Amino acid sequence: MDEVRIAGFRFAGEIVGVKRGSKRDRPDVGVILADQPAVAAGVFTQNKLRAAPVDLSVRRLRRGLCQGLVVNAGNANACTGAQGEADAKEMAALLALGLEPAIDPKLVCVASTGVIGEPLPMELLREGIPRVGRAVSADGFSRFARAILTTDKGPKVAVREVQLDGRTVRLAGCAKGAGMIAPKMATATTLAFVTTDATVEAAWLSDAVRAAADRTFNAVTVDGDTSTNDSLFVLASGAAGGKPLKKDGKRGRVFAEALREVCGELATMLVRDGEGATKVVEVIVEGARTVREAERAARRIAESPLVKTAIHGADPNWGRILCAVGNAGIELRADKLELDIGDVPVVRGGVGVREAETEVAAHAVMKQATYQLRVRLHVGRACASMMTCDFTKEYITINADYRS
């Protein structure tokens, strides 16, 4: 694959030594540097115990500008108290002041992923961050994409190109997720970074990023827990030129759709790479009274251990799926419920379709690596979907084995 390039940005990823054990010789600090302060927006974890780097980045993105991003893998700098706050701030300063020429430390954001509750190895980072900062290049995207990984099977990259007023605008994103093998890793932290050369106004970008996240990263689940560190950053250099995007309109829709596609592709890769996962299933709920109720039902199905084990066993056990819907606390009418597994009608009018071939056909669908579960509530017109994966013995092994 040719190296991904986005005009106005340089990237780096190097070994600093934050990762330990079997990962100790992997790149673990990444940097994104914009030639000029970039228009920037982010979406961050809703977990009340937000890690120090997330707090710092939320504050710094309020102005809608970001010139540098420093990311470390191997230590989440979460549940680390006042020391953690000071360390996150120092990470940003180490990048800003280690560059030649230096940039404003307040224009640097930070992301961390890895072990929870341990102080960052600042002695290593004091040596490493300035070095990684000086290593940035227009060809560094792949090295950055590798440096942010923890227990992921491989890098996750998605790119799009769109035409706006005859100009080519590019978007390139990368993400990490998947992993909790590492000791004390609390949950599969999702980090995602999208760079684009589009010219965008900050307020509109912020709305577009939130909308994209809601339909992508916020619509996938591996085990239902969100991490202290989940972060999505979008940086726009404006190097493509043209009038700034500032509202929904035809041009805005084209860009927003491309952004959603990049995020969607990355989010799907996260589920596919979920711990021990062997199947990726899209749960679709239609005919709900409100979008919120459709989302609640889709999430309840997607996170039910009983549904996720049935998916693993390719068992068309529709009672479990209906049970999950019944537990979602939403408006429904039992006698209107419908369920399709792939294109096989399994439930109609709230009762099972009692035809000889139904079970065999549904089982065949569920043996596929990817398929859809579609529930129709018939009480309204709202819909929502959620991507999920199966629960496997491998998941238990990964997460239950005592750290050695």
Looking at 72, 75, 80, 190, which residue binds a second copy (CB under 8 A)?
80
CB neighbour list of residue 215: distance below 8 Å, 6 or more residues apart: 260, 263, 264
Residue 201 CB, nearest approach to a second copy (Å): 32
- Tell whether the torsion through CA atoms of 366, 368, 370 and 372 is positive or negative: negative
Q: Is 196 in the site for a second copy (CB under 8 A)?
A: no
Residue 210 CB, nearest approach to a second copy (Å): 19
Nearest alpha carbon to residue 257 among 191, 161, 356, 330? 161
Q: Residue 97 half-sphere exposure, CB side, CA atoms within 13 Å?
A: 10
Identify whether 290 is a catalytic site residue. no
Q: Determine the interface stretch with a second copy among 89-97, 99-107, 162-170, 307-315 (rule: CB under 8 A).
A: 307-315
Q: Is 400 in the site for a second copy (CB under 8 A)?
A: yes
Q: Determine the interface stretch with a second copy among 1-9, 129-137, 258-266, 301-309 (rule: CB under 8 A).
A: 301-309
Q: Supply φ then ψ for residue 251, to 5 degrees.
A: -60, -45
Q: Is 221 in the site for a second copy (CB under 8 A)?
A: no
274: left (phi over 0), alpha (psi -120 to 50) or beta: beta
Q: Is 356 in the site for a second copy (CB under 8 A)?
A: no
Residue 284 CB, nearest approach to a second copy (Å): 19
Active-site option among 151, 187, 358, 392: 187
Q: x/- binding map, residues 25-54, to a second copy, per CB under 8 A?
A: ---------------------xxxxx----
The C-alpha angle with vertex 53 and arms to 173 and 213, in degrees rounded to 5, equals: 40
The tokens describing 298, both together, are 């889709």
Q: Is 121 in the site for a second copy (CB under 8 A)?
A: no
Reduced to 3 states (helix: H, G, I; strand: E, B; else coil), residue 38 is strand
Give the separation between CA 110 and CA 125, rounded to whole angstroms: 13
Q: Which residues are catalytic?
A: 187
Q: Which residues bind a second copy (CB under 8 A)?
A: 46-50, 76, 78-81, 115-118, 180, 183-187, 223-228, 304-306, 309-310, 312-315, 317-320, 322-330, 332, 334-335, 337, 347, 349-352, 363, 390-393, 395-397, 399-403
